[in-house]
Amino acid sequence: MKDLNMFCYQCQETAGCSGCTVKGVCGKTPEVARMQDLLVYVTKGLSEVTTKLRAEGKIISKEVNHLITLNLFTTITNANFDFDVFVDRVNKTLDVKKEMIEQLNSKENLGEAAMWDERELSVMEEKAKKVGVLATEDEDVRSLRELTIYGLKGLSAYSKHANMLYHDSEEVDAFLQEALYKTTQDLSVDELIELVLATGGAGVKGMALLDGANTDTFGNPEITEVNIGVRNNPAILISGHDLSDLKALLEQTKGTGVDVYTHSEMLPANYYPEFKKYDNLVGNYGNAWWKQKEEFESFNGPILMTTNCIVPPKDSYKDRLYTTGSAGYPGCKHFPGEAGSTKDFSAIIEHAKKCPPPTQIEDGTLVGGFAHNQVISLADQIVEAVNTGAIKKFVVMAGCDGRHKSRDYYADFAKALPQDAVIMTAGCAKYRYNKLGLGDINGIPRVLDAGQCNDSYSLAVIAMKLQEVFGLEDINELPIVFNIAWYEQKAVIVLLSLLYLGVKNIHLGPTLPAFLSPNVVDVLVKNFGIAGIGTVEDDIELFFNN
């Protein structure tokens, strides 16, 4: 086992549904995979130090909190492929860790990850081989530790977006660091299960923090028809999840003759009142992340990746691909800028001016904007539709899209739904069925898109509101079923958050995570009724005729 080139099993597309050991299916090289492992390791060490400093009553600065969340975020699937970035972040983390150890009154009993400090690249690379996932031998302990770490990675992503909008939660950061530290300790399986559930609790707080940051800054999403065609101007395509980057880009492109289009997870930005003020935000171009090879080519202009999901670019558009924040790709220009600084996007704007307008690939509009505030304002209409039997069931189909053929299931499932079922969605999973023309029920669209994957929080708020309106004791008595698609680690924190809120019988597909050991799957099945997916026919039967 220890001679493997790399080992990563954090996403749904992992090789053979068990682990990438030669090269990532995502395109991640073994060198990058190992340096990511080392970054997670030193971040665990720093988290031990910050946790102990807090216990001594010391204050941890926002800069340190942000360093930790950005470290984890850069290791999320498809965020960053740049080896040098990981080496830099390891070095930076070691610098900060060294300073913080100095501040500890009691320096005894620090763990190995907290103590480790080597700057020679060859020594770092040797260490990286020994601190990855397989360093934990017991399969169940490994599974629960990694489940926690992947949840924390997702939580870091959401925290980072909130931080960029000047919203911080010391409570969430302190939890995140303590939990990360705990993954280095000798906890029992029961204690680890508790840690996993507590991570879900922090996930709810993290998503609420981001929801507050987004709505305070950009207003509440509202029902919106989003144009999916193109205009005849040069343009920039912005992808990923970071709304603060979109705001800065729109400000800087104002009056330049350069249009801006959203891609994949940036689509929901079109639903916010603040972004509707910009005439040069034209609409959404294309589909989910994995179609970018074709869509970035036909877009013709430069593309700004603000987060994952990057697919290793084709040469035909690599010189048009720019990154910022957690995102990175070797050879592509990166725009730096932390919370509180203004990023300078002039290079991409100048580049756009020299490019032809996008080639149209679709036309028409998409309807979205069904986040909690908008849906709750329609509560009377929805309750009436439920009471009259016009709506019989809500089907939460949130989560991610991906490349595998097996994901055709989600389009087929959406098509096969009874006409009195309404889909509630968030995340890029929606692209499997948001252009199928599924119609409406008494004016309520049958696909209610709340937004990005983090806006799954909205779906939980809506469910809790409906529970209250219908006077139900338990959220599971609602006419809602959960058929969620996952791909990367943000979906893990969404799942853990739903479990924390007491949601049972979630179906997760297209395959169950490789990082769940058979015993951990058993625990999830027994306590939460978690299940995989079957055939469309069987699942329709199960969800609607039982």
Residue 41 engages ligand FSO in binding (rule: CB under 6 A): no
241 appears as a binding residue in the annotation = yes
Minimum distance, C-beta of residue 541 to ligand FSO, in the bound complex (Å): 28
- Which of ligand FSO, ligand SF4, none sits in contact with 28, Cβ below 5 to 8 A by type? ligand SF4
Among 37, 178, 488, 539, binds ligand FSO (CB under 6 A): 488
Segment 433 to 472, residues that bind ligand FSO, using CB under 6 A: 452-453
DSSP one-letter string for 63-107? HHHHHHHHHHHHTSTTTB--HHHHHHHHHHHHHHHHHHHHH-S--
- Which of ligand FSO, ligand SF4, none sits in contact with 158, Cβ below 5 to 8 A by type? none
Residue 245 engages ligand FSO in binding (rule: CB under 6 A): no
428 appears as a binding residue in the annotation = yes
- Which of ligand FSO, ligand SF4, none sits in contact with 295, Cβ below 5 to 8 A by type? none
List Cα–Cα distances, 499 to 204, 491, 505, 529, in angstroms: 10, 12, 10, 10
- Which of ligand SF4, ligand FSO, none sits in contact with 308, Cβ below 5 to 8 A by type? ligand FSO
Q: Which stretch binds ligand FSO (CB under 6 A): 64-72, 141-149, 207-215, 487-495?
A: 487-495
Residue 11 engages ligand SF4 in binding (rule: CB under 6 A): yes
- 298, two tokens: 């036909």
Judged by beta carbon, residue 303 or residue 386, the one nearer ligand FSO is: 303
CB 213 within 8 A of CB 167: yes
d(CA 24, CA 525): 29
355 appears as a binding residue in the annotation = no
Judged by beta carbon, residue 11 or residue 144, the one nearer ligand SF4 is: 11
d(CA 376, CA 223): 12
Judged by beta carbon, residue 301 or residue 328, the one nearer ligand SF4 is: 328
Residue 407 engages ligand FSO in binding (rule: CB under 6 A): no
- 182, two tokens: 């705990």
Minimum distance, C-beta of residue 229 to ligand SF4, in the bound complex (Å): 33
Q: Which stretch binds ligand FSO (CB under 6 A): 90-98, 127-135, 278-286, 486-494?
A: 486-494
Judged by beta carbon, residue 4 or residue 378, the one nearer ligand SF4 is: 4
d(CA 274, CA 267): 14
The dihedral formed by the CA atoms of 302, 450, 307 and 496, expressed in degrees to the nearest 10: -160
Q: Which residues pair with 448 in a beta bridge?
A: 424
Segment 251 to 290, residues that bind ligand FSO, using CB under 6 A: 264-265, 289
d(CA 130, CA 391): 54
Q: Which stretch binds ligand SF4 (CB under 6 A): 10-18, 90-98, 386-394, 397-405?
A: 10-18
Helices (H) and strands (E) in the chain, counts: 20, 15
332 appears as a binding residue in the annotation = no
- Which of ligand SF4, ligand FSO, none sits in contact with 516, Cβ below 5 to 8 A by type? none
Candidates 209, 180, 154; CA nearest to 399 is 154
d(CA 9, CA 269): 31
Among 51, 156, 308, 497, binds ligand FSO (CB under 6 A): 308
Angle between helix 170-182 and helix 189-218 axes, rounded to 10 deg: 150
Residue 53 engages ligand FSO in binding (rule: CB under 6 A): no
Between strands 365-368 and 224-227, the pairing is antiparallel
Minimum distance, C-beta of residue 39 to ligand SF4, in the bound complex (Å): 14
Among 21, 26, 456, 466, binds ligand SF4 (CB under 6 A): 26
Residue 13 engages ligand SF4 in binding (rule: CB under 6 A): yes
Half-sphere exposure of 526 (CA within 13 A, CB side): 6
Q: How many residues bind ligand SF4 (CB under 6 A)?
A: 13
222 appears as a binding residue in the annotation = no
Angle between helix 139-164 and helix 518-528 axes, rounded to 10 deg: 70
Residue 28 engages ligand FSO in binding (rule: CB under 6 A): no
Segment 35 to 94, residues that bind ligand SF4, using CB under 6 A: 77
Among 4, 25, 475, 521, binds ligand SF4 (CB under 6 A): 25
Residue 487 engages ligand FSO in binding (rule: CB under 6 A): yes
CB 373 within 8 A of CB 220: yes
Among 20, 114, 288, 421, binds ligand SF4 (CB under 6 A): 20
Q: Which residues contact 546 (CB under 8 A, 6 or more apart)?
A: none
17 appears as a binding residue in the annotation = no
d(CA 446, CA 249): 33
Residue 200 engages ligand FSO in binding (rule: CB under 6 A): no
- Alpha helices per DSSP H over 308-442: 315-318, 346-353, 372-377, 379-387, 408-416
Minimum distance, C-beta of residue 14 to ligand SF4, in the bound complex (Å): 3
Judged by beta carbon, residue 154 or residue 234, the one nearer ligand SF4 is: 154
- Judged by phi (left if over 0) then psi (alpha if -120 to 50, else beta), residue 305 lies in beta
Between strands 321-324 and 421-425, the pairing is unpaired
d(CA 176, CA 155): 8
Candidates 158, 135, 130, 157; CA nearest to 146 is 135
Q: Which amino acid is at 324?
A: T
Annotated binding residues, written as ranges, equal 8, 11, 20, 26, 241, 265, 309, 400, 428, 453, 488, 490
Binding residues for ligand FSO, per CB under 6 A? 264-265, 289, 308-309, 400, 427-428, 452-453, 487-488, 490-491
Binding residues for ligand SF4, per CB under 6 A? 8-11, 13-14, 20, 24-26, 28, 33, 77
Annotated binding residues for [4Fe-4S] cluster, written as ranges, equal 8, 11, 20, 26
